[in-house]
Amino acid sequence: MKPFPKPAGDLAGDLVVTYSNEKIYIRGKLTGLPRKMEGAGIHVHEGTDCKDKDTIGNHLLTDTLDGWVFPKPVTYSTDDKGEVTVAVSAKSHVLSKDEDTLAKRAVEGKCIVLHGLNSVTPGPRVAVGKIVKEGTSYKAEIKKYPNSAITSTPSGTLTVTQDGESVQLAGSLKGLAPNLVGGGIHIHTGEDCDGGGKTTTAEINQVIGGHLKSRGDGFALTKYKSDYTRVGDIDISTPKGSYILRNSEYTSKGAAAVEDHCIVIHDETKRVGVGKIVCDAGGCKASMGPYPTQATTKAPTTPPTTPSTATLATTTTTSSSSSSSSSSSSKAEVPDPTSPVTTTKDKVNGSLTTMLISVTTLLLACILAL
CATH number, domain with residue 226: 2.60.40.200
Q: Are residues 204 and 233 in the same domain?
A: no
Q: Are residues 98 and 154 in the same domain?
A: yes
* End position of a domain, from candidates 160, 182, 215: 215
Asked if 290 contacts 273 with a C-beta cutoff of 8 angstroms, the reply is yes
Q: Are residues 149 and 81 in the same domain?
A: yes
Residue 9: band (very low, low, confident or very high) from pLDDT cuts 50, 70, 90: confident
121: how many CB neighbours lie within 10 A of its CB?
11
Radius of gyration of the chain (CA): 40
Residue 252: band (very low, low, confident or very high) from pLDDT cuts 50, 70, 90: confident
Q: Are residues 50 and 96 in the same domain?
A: no
* End position of a domain, from candidates 215, 234, 269: 215
Q: Are residues 138 and 211 in the same domain?
A: yes
pLDDT of residue 321: 43
Q: Are residues 97 and 152 in the same domain?
A: yes
The rounded distance, in Å, linking the Cα atoms of 278 and 260 is 6
In a domain, 362, yes or no: no
pLDDT digits (tens, 9 = 90+) for 267-321: 999 999 999 999 999 999 999 999 999 887 655 544 444 343 333 334 333 444 4
How many domains in the chain?
Answer: 2
* End position of a domain, from candidates 163, 190, 215: 215
Contacts by residues 275-282 (CB-CB < 8 Å, ≥ 24 positions apart):
275/15, 275/50, 276/48, 276/50, 277/17, 277/44, 279/17, 279/245, 279/246
- pTM to 2 decimals? 0.76
Domain housing 79: 75-215
Q: What percent of the chain has pLDDT over 90?
A: 76
pLDDT digits (tens, 9 = 90+) for 102-153: 999 999 999 999 999 998 999 999 999 999 999 999 999 999 999 999 999 9
pLDDT digits (tens, 9 = 90+) for 17-41: 999 999 999 999 999 999 999 999 9
Across the chain, mean pLDDT equals: 86
Average pLDDT over residues 340-354: 50
Q: List, in sequence order, every residue forming a beta bridge with 249; answer none if it has no partner.
A: none
59 Cβ contact partners less than 8 Å away, ≥ 6 residues apart:
43, 44, 45, 46, 217, 219, 220
First to last CA, the chain: 106
